[in-house]
Structure 1
Amino acid sequence: MSDLVQRYGVFLNVENPHDDARDALRQTVRTGMAAEQMGFRDVWVAEHHYSPFAIGSALTVLLSHIAAGTSTIRLGTGASLLALNDPLRVAEDVASLDLLSGGRIEFGVARGGPFPAQYRPSGIASAEVARERMHEALALIERLWTERDTCFEGRFFRYESVAVYPRPLQRPVPVWLASLSGQSPQIAAQHGYGLMAAPSADLDQVAERVAAQRAQRGAFPFAIARFFHCDEDGRRAMEHGIEAVRAYPRLMGVHFPPGKLPPMFAPDASNDVILANAIIGDPEQCMARAKALSARLGAHRLLLKPATHDAEKARASLALFARAAGLG
């Protein structure tokens, strides 16, 4: 399949189901490094806070370890939760990582997703406020990366005169908004940002919004993460992958507002609904699902999010897909 139509990456969430944080972190880094050896083009790492299960709170630390053990794979923040962090520090950390990695950073940003517990310690009243804060922080960071002296007057951030160093190697750093809702598509179009869809996003809605954006913008960078599990035995793959998807909302502590629950997370979601929104099966079935996405969405990056808590099984699953796709 042409790389211009669909290219493959890995989406990693640092999950700690066995209460062994050191191993969870090390296994995530190991999988990120292995992804390059398998031929994947991107590795994205999620950021979460205040959860004993999802412990990827130090996003640039994780990516720096992956960067040190790789040389070509693109390194994505999937996504940096700007509403919860000091934008000056994020600007410095990401710039340093871009320099150390040889200019391989993809800067994905998000407001914080369906995790209200993440907002409270930062004094953020709602998801809407978090979204406004995210967009304002992003505007500030982009100026900090290019201006010798920045004066900024916003609702959340105000600076008389500030400059941060070092500056990124890439000019500009690719920016992605991990949202297809609210004003994000319009802001992305205005600034030339890419758009990302989460693993749980309903494919019907995603396809509709991507088509609308292509009608307005023409070609634009788009990435979609999908829950993924591949096994030589297709039935075993489906049993394992579907079970993992069903358990995910409970383990992650997600809390969607009324009317916003993704169909695949509904308590009565059928296997067919889950499979329609995931890449699960034997290698042939997984490739068929990937090609169906390509036909429906057009050019995009497909990011595979392992639907397993067994790191060895996750890497074996990714290796099966890589071989079927002819990567490497």
Structure 2
Amino acid sequence: MRIGVFLVAAGFPGRAPGDVLRGTVEAIEAAERAGFDDAWIAEHHFMSYGVCPSAVTLAAVALGRTSQITVGTAVSVLSAQHPIALAEQAAILHHVSDGRFRLGVGRGGPWLELEVFGTGTARFERGFPEALDLLCAALNGGPVAADGEFFRFREVSMVPQARMSPVVACTSDGTVRLAAQRGLPMLLGLHIGDEERAEMVAAYDAYAADEAPPAAHVGAALGYVADTTEQAVREMRESLPRWLGPGLAGYVPVDGRPPPRRDIPEYVDLLCRIHPVGSAEHCVEKITTTVARTGLRHLILMVEGAGDRVRTLENIARLGAEVLPAVRRSEPGAV
């Protein structure tokens, strides 16, 4: 069982983006002290939902400030950048961190970065498999060449070479099939519960090749511990809407399709209901139940829901002291 932290670099009102980014690195240092296995950084562009536009860059800073914890991206938006350039950056971090870097990628959405960076909606709609295959070829040491719809270039050698496999964010059956056919583990978001996660894992297994080894999927969840479950839920109901309301409004489609809509209080209640938000005992029970129901052996907890630097660090410390040891003791064979 692996348990990590998931950091959105959430732009809560009143917090300057620079302070949020410094706090994100500070949270990763705290997660290492607290005994978490890894830390994953989200990437967003031109919005307050998440103020980190380059998860790879911030991961590099965090790797330089730590010595043991694995640091990953959850996710780098592949539709907004060149897969070979991303592979080069990942290879650098792989080598200088002695293998402590993990790359997570996702298709992203039809948002403003497609227009600003010039990659376009066609690549978002159709180009993810092509980009993912090039990324995987480059991360398998290369050499790599392209003669497809979106990428065409002569064969090049990868310098430096690195042999690593990305994790793929999956929100649709098509992406589940894509990841399974390539033997890549899934990253499942915090907006779904145990039943849907179990269904996606089952679908992945059905699509995967018969001889494929078991995939080490990753599931994201909101994680917040307080003295009582009632207190934890109350605090999340107070803090999360301040971030989610203006943050989700930052998703601006570039092609005229309607923007995403959520009932914010309803969404917050859902997150509190399906994830480890509560007393330490409640958090342990929710995590062990999720593991039993889904088969996931790797969870990453979004720990910054309070929207405050001090409370985020306290949350990380309490999860590390009160929740992680009990979860690990509950594993089969634990002593």
Bin of the TM-score, shorter chain as denominator length: 0.7 to 0.9
Q: Distance in 2 between matches of 1:277 and 1:258?
A: 28
**Measured at CA, do residues 88 and 259 of structure 1 come closer, stay the same or move farther in structure 2, by a change above 3 Å?**
closer
SS of aligned partner of 2:127 = helix
Matching residue within 55, 60, 78 for 1:59: 55
**Measured at CA, do residues 118 and 199 of structure 1 come closer, stay the same or move farther in structure 2, by a change above 3 Å?**
farther
SS of aligned partner of 2:137 = helix
Structure 2 spans left out of the alignment, 5+ residues: 329-335
| Alignment pair present for 1:289 and 2:281 | no
Matching residue within 295, 308, 311 for 2:309: 311
Matching residue within 58, 66, 83 for 1:87: 83
Q: Is the 8 A contact 1:83 1:133 kept in 2?
A: yes
| Counterparts of residues 81-230 of structure 1 (less than 5 Å) | 81-113=77-109, 116-123=111-118, 126=121, 129-130=123-124, 132-146=126-140, 149-168=143-162, 171=163, 173-215=164-206, 217=208, 219-230=214-225
Q: Is the 8 A contact 1:200 1:277 kept in 2?
A: no
Question: Following TM superposition, by how much is the alpha carbon of 1:289 offset from its aligned partner in structure 2, in angstroms?
Answer: 1.1
Q: Is the 8 A contact 1:133 1:156 kept in 2?
A: yes
Q: Distance in 2 between matches of 1:132 and 1:106?
A: 25
- When the two structures are aligned, how many residues end up with a matched partner? 315
Q: Distance in 2 between matches of 1:271 and 1:97?
A: 35
Q: Is the 8 A contact 2:170 2:187 kept in 1?
A: yes
Q: Is the 8 A contact 1:287 1:321 kept in 2?
A: no
SS of aligned partner of 2:105 = strand
Q: Which amino acid aligns with 1:305?
A: M
Q: Which amino acid aligns with 1:190?
A: Q
**Measured at CA, do residues 209 and 258 of structure 1 come closer, stay the same or move farther in structure 2, by a change above 3 Å?**
farther
Q: Where has structure 1 moved over 6 Å in runs of 4 or more?
A: 256-261
| Counterparts of residues 224-239 of structure 1 (less than 5 Å) | 224-239=219-234
| Alignment pair present for 1:241 and 2:275 | no
Q: Is the 8 A contact 1:194 1:222 kept in 2?
A: yes
Q: Is the 8 A contact 2:5 2:36 kept in 1?
A: yes
Structure 1 spans left out of the alignment, 5+ residues: none
**Measured at CA, do residues 224 and 212 of structure 1 come closer, stay the same or move farther in structure 2, by a change above 3 Å?**
same
SS of aligned partner of 1:183 = helix
- RMSD (Å) for aligned C-alpha atoms: 2.7
Q: Is the 8 A contact 1:15 1:55 kept in 2?
A: yes
SS of aligned partner of 2:160 = coil
Q: Distance in 2 between matches of 1:86 and 1:30?
A: 30
Over the matched positions of the two proteins, sequence identity in percent amounts to 26
Q: Which residue of 2 aligns with 1:42?
A: 38
Q: Which residue of 1 aligns with 2:25?
A: 29
Question: Following TM superposition, by how much is the alpha carbon of 1:275 offset from its aligned partner in structure 2, in angstroms?
Answer: 2.5
Question: Following TM superposition, by how much is the alpha carbon of 1:19 offset from its aligned partner in structure 2, in angstroms?
Answer: 4.4
Question: Following TM superposition, by how much is the alpha carbon of 1:268 offset from its aligned partner in structure 2, in angstroms?
Answer: 6.1
Q: Distance in 2 between matches of 1:269 and 1:190?
A: 36
Instruction: Output the TM-score relative to the length of structure 2.
Output: 0.84
Q: Is the 8 A contact 2:35 2:320 kept in 1?
A: yes
Mean CA deviation greater in 147-156 or 19-28: 147-156
Q: Distance in 2 between matches of 1:101 and 1:131?
A: 34
**Measured at CA, do residues 73 and 182 of structure 1 come closer, stay the same or move farther in structure 2, by a change above 3 Å?**
same
Q: Distance in 2 between matches of 1:44 and 1:52?
A: 18
Q: Distance in 2 between matches of 1:29 and 1:271?
A: 26
